[in-house]
Amino acid sequence: MKQKPNILIIEDDPTTALLYTSTLRTSGYEIIQFSGLKPTLETYREDGFKSVDLIVTDLVLPDGTGKELILEVRKTNPNVPIIVVSAAEDSQSIIDVMRENVQDYCIKPISPKELSKKIQYHLSKQEMDYQKTVFEKEKIISLEKLLDWYSFKNQSLEKGEFDSKELHKNLFHVLRASLSQGAGFGILVQIIDIIKGMTKTKEGDYILQKEILEILEENASYAKKVLQTFTEIENIIFGRVDSVKVSLREFRAEISALVLEMDPLLKIKNQKIQLGKLEDKYLDSKYILWDKEYFRKFFAELLLNAMKFSPESGSIFVFFQSDSEFVSISVINSVAVESDTGQGIPNEYLDLVFEPFFRLTKNLYEKYGSLDFGIGLSLVRETIHKFGGHIIVRNILDHLGDVVTPKVEFKATLPYVSSEK
């Protein structure tokens, strides 16, 4: 019989520690709990944390810091997953600790159920090599931390625990630190430093070389696109986008028009889009809420996502489903063999693909003009929610051909609204 995983928790708040411990024990884990750094290090001095399957630690401890603990753990056990749970939102502290090969950073408050999910996920990946390159560490900073920040932010918005001005300030404080690590933004910072070292005129002006200016313009353009997408997401979250009522006929017409506009991108891999039909009986009698600009953005993003991950000469299917209460639109595609995701989206990632900065692959798709920053699907989700709907992603099996083919389906469902004005 497989032994229960040993989870080490370092948390000085007794109420929080009891909450975590009781929940995790019911999930089938053996829990070892300490309230400080020194007793933890003393207990595992000889063992070197080799008997521990996963560690959960606060960043601020009464007799030290979570970073001190992590440094000691990594001396003897470089592969044990470590989850930091802390109320600290100082961006520099977060970046410092994430660079010490930490697998997850959760901003308090985090529910025991959510923590249990994260523990389960990281235990399932325990056999993987957690030693990261510099690039991977920077990716962890932007992916994991911001994923938890957005989760925390959305929960707090629903509970009414934040006012919009304070949330706006805190959000961009965190984003500034993370975006400085990524393509476009990090390069901009480096170029500024290069410019400062260049020759000056007698008046103190810098003599800017043409090559430097070109690089600066290119990366500034990229940075502006990323920030524009964040602005669009914020506009939705803060209710700055107005919804208008349209018939299903206009809904279908806009989809058809957008499919035609995507033709140049389809030629990159010789792909095609097969567009299904929407039942005529609902075209003029049913209505949905939308904003035309944002609707086009969300649907174009789903099509673009399908194109990037579909194989050469593959088909992308767009299907409709309608009844008396809802209309759904599905974008379905096969997954290219060379894709990092294999034959579909790993099940453990299905709930994460819509989170900001979460990327299934490290590939860049320059030909498509996309940001490849992991925020396109975040805009999709927020847009669908704005219009009162929901969206799911799932792996499906296509039995229509001679061979059963695995595919990925993104399905957005929108409710009807009254036709009365």
pLDDT, residue 111, reads 83
Decide: 105 and 155 in contact? Cβ < 8 Å: no
| Token duo for residue 57 | 């630690």
Amino acid identity of 366? E
End-to-end alpha-carbon separation of the chain, Å?
Answer: 65
Triad 85, 352, 307: Cα angle to 5°: 150
Residues 6+ apart with CB under 8 A from 184: 219, 222, 223, 226
Burial of 297 (C-beta count, 10 Å sphere; 0-12/13-18/19+): middle
Decide: 101 and 82 in contact? Cβ < 8 Å: yes
DSSP code for 4: P
pLDDT, residue 79, reads 82
Decide: 317 and 288 in contact? Cβ < 8 Å: no
Fold of 6-149: Rossmann fold (3.40.50)
Decide: 219 and 191 in contact? Cβ < 8 Å: yes
pLDDT, residue 177, reads 40
DSSP code for 348: G
Distance of CA 211 to the CA centre of its chain: 34
pLDDT, residue 121, reads 80
Decide: 343 and 370 in contact? Cβ < 8 Å: no
Angle between helices 91-98 and 164-179 (to 10 degrees): 40
CA atoms within 13 A on the CB side of 96: 12
| Chain position carrying tokens 């209505």 | 287
Domain 244-415 has what CATH class?
alpha beta
Beta bridge partners of 247: 287
Whole-number Å distance between alpha carbons of 2 and 307: 43
Whole-number Å distance between alpha carbons of 286 and 416: 6
Sorted by where each begins, the domain ranges of the chain are 6-149, 182-237, 244-415
Decide: 106 and 153 in contact? Cβ < 8 Å: no
| Chain position carrying tokens 């929901």 | 390
| Token duo for residue 93 | 């502290």
Q: Report the chain (421 residues): mean pLDDT per 10 consecutive residues.
A: 82 86 88 92 90 91 90 88 78 67 79 86 62 42 47 56 47 43 49 62 72 65 72 80 93 95 94 92 93 93 92 93 93 74 70 72 64 76 91 86 85 88 49
Whole-number Å distance between alpha carbons of 38 and 63: 7
Residues present in the chain in total: 421
Whole-number Å distance between alpha carbons of 332 and 392: 12
Decide: 71 and 102 in contact? Cβ < 8 Å: no
